[in-house]
Amino acid sequence: MHFGVSPHLTVKLHSVVLTTIIDSYERRNDCQHRVIGTLLGIHEKGAVEVTNCLCIPHNESEDEVAVDMEFAKAMYELHKKVNPSEVIVGWYATGADVTGHSVLIHDYYSREANNPIHLTVDTTLSEGKLSWKAFTSCSFGVPGKNTGTMFTPCKVEIVCYAPEQVGLKLAQQTKHNKQRSVEILPDLDLISNAVENMLGLIDVVIGYIDDVLANRKPADNSVGRTLMNIVQSIPQINPEEFQDMLNSNKKDLLMVVYLAQLTKSQLALHEKISYL
């Protein structure tokens, strides 16, 4: 018996990909029970970073599946003009399980990408929450005779860029809002909230250090090295120079806010005068 072995990969999945998949699932036709699409990203050593995705139209029944491959190619060519660094790294499908049709679709993407990944997103919330899994394909069977395909699970890590993280935090605030909407705060309020969050994290770190020194928790060398790197990354600035720099930036920011309010007032006054 011969088994093909696929390399062990870590899939770094960006949060924007999950939101795009969920959006395509919510906008699907009534006759469709799932949606599929192309995963785009970059290859790294021992990992695949999925940064984007494209929804692909398809028709599926119990006996057959038809995918609009020409549409998939056209959309990828258009996307490549905007993001030339992103290549096809696999495909996704909504649902908790890998179906029999997945082998046929995966065979197409195997011709478009080397060792493509297959991502499943359980939009039905069968486990009580949104869940996702990633797979790579392995061939098995007798050499020279019938062979099959087996999907091997991969490790999935959720990653995000700084703008994506800001958007996720804003989206989380809608959970406690009946209108499911949230307003973007002014810059000064955002700075104040960031400082409060940082102070809270510092309290957590100080509590952990106190517990380690008091032998209430075991010491973790990796945590110690991380804290040392954080402390060493802080620039050494004289407190008086730092205060002057902070006050200067604050004055600049207040001046911008003042000029913006002044411009707004002038425009409102001009609008009222124009009606006279």
Which residues are within 8 A (CB) of 146 and not within 5 positions of it... i.e. 6 or more apart?
A: none
pLDDT tens digits, residue range 117-139? 999 999 888 778 888 999 988 77
Q: Report the half-sphere exposure of 166 (CA within 13 A, side-chain side).
A: 10
Helices within 100-220 (DSSP H only) = 101-112, 162-173, 187-213
- pLDDT for 51 equals 93
What mean pLDDT is reported for the chain? 84
Alpha-carbon span 53 to 91, nearest angstrom? 8
- pLDDT for 4 equals 40
- Tokens describing residue 266: 């002038």
- pLDDT for 99 equals 79
- pLDDT for 276 equals 64
Query: Which candidate, 157, 176, 83, places its Cα nearest to that of 117?
Result: 157
Rg over CA atoms, the chain? 26
- Tokens describing residue 10: 């870590």
pLDDT tens digits, residue range 255-274? 888 888 889 888 888 777 77
Alpha-carbon span 116 to 136, nearest angstrom? 7
Alpha-carbon span 132 to 120, nearest angstrom? 5
- Tokens describing residue 144: 């020279």
- Tokens describing residue 231: 């402390």
Residues with pLDDT less than 70, the chain: 1-7, 140-148, 276
